[in-house]
């Protein structure tokens, strides 16, 4: 079970509600705990209810609304967002963290499979923004953060669908930033490098971690804790003049 970081953070996000997709995974659970420690109430979703993440939040005293949602189902995504608004009355922060990313050889990539990448990695973010942004506009405050990927700058075989849809996500960030420019809503992206989690360590060879580390100016493997502070800043009031940006948090990777 994931534990608290042990650090004491100022309640910079007190009174805010944050929706995080992919909340059952390592990054999602770290993001949830960091925003909870900053004072956010949380709406969490994943393909399964993120029970371990919820359990790790018990010490924070925040309110949590959670449900299992297949992000490839646009109607289910919309219902979840509407449920969040009904439960809390508002939602101030949207973190599009979930990603569909199996390695699929290009010759074996079907349109049906590609469309699942597209639905989860891009369309769910669009539906959530459409559903939540009217209330954000009414309140004059919103923070939307898309979790991108450094693979868009270093394409590898087998990632055609993933990279294409991650690049589409960056296009969506810039388009939404223009749509919401004068409304108090900012829209930005974070590009992590290869991040060590239980899942990535299980499915990827150590040689890949070593190769990526050699490309970085900071010669250590990235961990989820390297990303949470950036997320906390981009979702705060202090970041109110930053929008339409994609911030690389990858140890200074040199492609």
Residues with a catalytic annotation lie at 162
CB–CB of 242/17 below 8 Å?
Answer: no
CB–CB of 70/61 below 8 Å?
Answer: no
Please state the three-class secondary structure of 105-160 as a single string: CHHHCCHHHHHHHHHHHHHHHHHHHHHHHHHHHHHCCEEEEEECCHHHHCCCCCCH
Contacting residues for 145 by C-beta, under 8 A, at least 6 apart: 93, 94, 95, 96, 187, 188, 189, 190, 231, 234, 235
């Amino acid at each position: 079970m994931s534990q608290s970081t042990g650090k004491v953070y100022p309640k910079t996000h007190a009174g805010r509600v944050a929706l995080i997709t992919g909340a059952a995974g390592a990054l999602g659970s770290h993001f949830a705990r960091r925003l909870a420690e900053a004072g956010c109430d949380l709406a969490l979703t994943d393909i399964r209810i993120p029970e371990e993440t919820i359990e790790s939040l018990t010490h924070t005293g925040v309110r949590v609304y959670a449900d299992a949602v297949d992000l490839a189902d646009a109607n289910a995504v919309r219902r979840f967002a509407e449920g969040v608004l009904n439960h809390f009355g508002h939602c101030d922060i949207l973190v599009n963290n979930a990603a569909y990313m199996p390695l699929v050889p290009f010759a074996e990539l079907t349109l049906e499979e590609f469309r699942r990448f597209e639905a989860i990695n891009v369309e769910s973010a669009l539906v959530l923004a459409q559903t939540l942004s009217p209330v954000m506009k009414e309140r004059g405050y919103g923070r939307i953060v898309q979790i991108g990927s450094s693979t868009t700058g270093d394409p590898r075989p087998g990632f055609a669908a993933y990279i294409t849809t991650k690049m589409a996500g960056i296009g969506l960030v810039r388009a939404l930033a223009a749509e919401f420019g004068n409304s108090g809503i900012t829209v930005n992206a974070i590009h992590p490098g290869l991040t060590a989690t239980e899942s990535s360590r299980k499915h990827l060879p150590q040689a890949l971690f070593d190769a990526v580390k050699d490309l970085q100016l900071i010669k250590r493997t990235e961990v989820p804790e390297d990303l949470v502070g950036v997320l906390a800043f981009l979702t705060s009031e202090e970041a109110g003049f930053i929008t339409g940006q994609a911030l690389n948090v990858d140890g200074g990777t040199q492609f």
